[in-house]
Chain A
Amino acid sequence: GAVVSQHPSRVICKSGTSVKIECRSLDFQATTMFWYRQFPKQSLMLMATSNEGSKATYEQGVEKDKFLINHASLTLSTLTVTSAHPEDSSFYICSARDGPGTEIYEQYFGPGTRLTVT
């Protein structure tokens, strides 16, 4: 089946620094990738949608200058949290959609990245 990986699985960074999270589709080409954020005991909240080679579409309330998303290839999307603050600590999950002809709910999820900002 389709596999999506994320790296790193856990990261601890100091306040004010930037951290990059990678999301890769391992055995398929992902024309669309989604980034979600999950706070403890809360649901996954969509942050942004990115299509390969174009700018990401951010959800309302998500700061595009703080959460930089790059989808430079059909197998890789990155999320960079810039000038991280403790309130950015969260679980970040990416998912990938296999081709424009698939239904939007046919997404494959990565295992998530736990970010802790100290």
Chain B
Amino acid sequence: AQSVTQLGSHVSVSEGALVLLRCNYSSSVPPYLFWYVQYPNQGLQLLLKYTSAATLVKGINGFEAEFKKSETSFHLTKPSAHMSDAAEYFCATLGRRALTFGSGTRLQVQP
């Protein structure tokens, strides 16, 4: 079964610093991978997706992720954190019938 694991339930960075949120996948076939963001009291919003095309995927709000098959990873990065990036981030993959999510990483941005 396809699954994803997010390393670190909480990540804290300073404003302007690099954001790195980690996600590793487990799949016997080329996976579809996604990153979602959830702001307080709001629904999940798709940041970006990997669907077996380019390995470096650019998303909204300046985020990007690189698919690395050798490391079975799909880490999310942003060069410079903004206060508005504080939220919960979920890595996900495509399961049998629907999306399968990681446990989430809460990003805190310090002024």
A 20-52 contacts with B by CB, 8 A = 34, 41-44, 46, 49
Task: Determine the chain A residues whose CB is within 8 A of the CB of B90 once the complex forms.
Answer: 43-44
B46, B95, B97, B104: residue with the most chain A Cβ atoms closer than 10 Å? B97
Taking a contact as CB atoms under 8 Å apart, the answer to whether B94 and A43 are in contact is no
Interface status of A92 (Cβ within 8 A of chain B): no
B 53-111 contacts with A by CB, 8 A = 90, 92, 94-95, 97-104
Main secondary structure of the interface of A (DSSP, over half): strand
Of B42, B43, B45, B49, the residue contacting A105 (CB under 8 A) is: B49
Task: Determine the chain B residues whose CB is within 8 A of the CB of A42 once the complex forms.
Answer: 103-104
Taking a contact as CB atoms under 8 Å apart, the answer to whether A49 and B97 are in contact is yes
Task: Determine the chain A residues whose CB is within 8 A of the CB of B32 once the complex forms.
Answer: 105
Of A4, A9, A49, A112, the residue contacting B98 (CB under 8 A) is: A49
Taking a contact as CB atoms under 8 Å apart, the answer to whether B43 and A44 are in contact is no
Residues in B lying within 8 Å of A, measured CB to CB:
9, 32, 34, 36, 41-46, 49, 90, 92, 94-95, 97-104
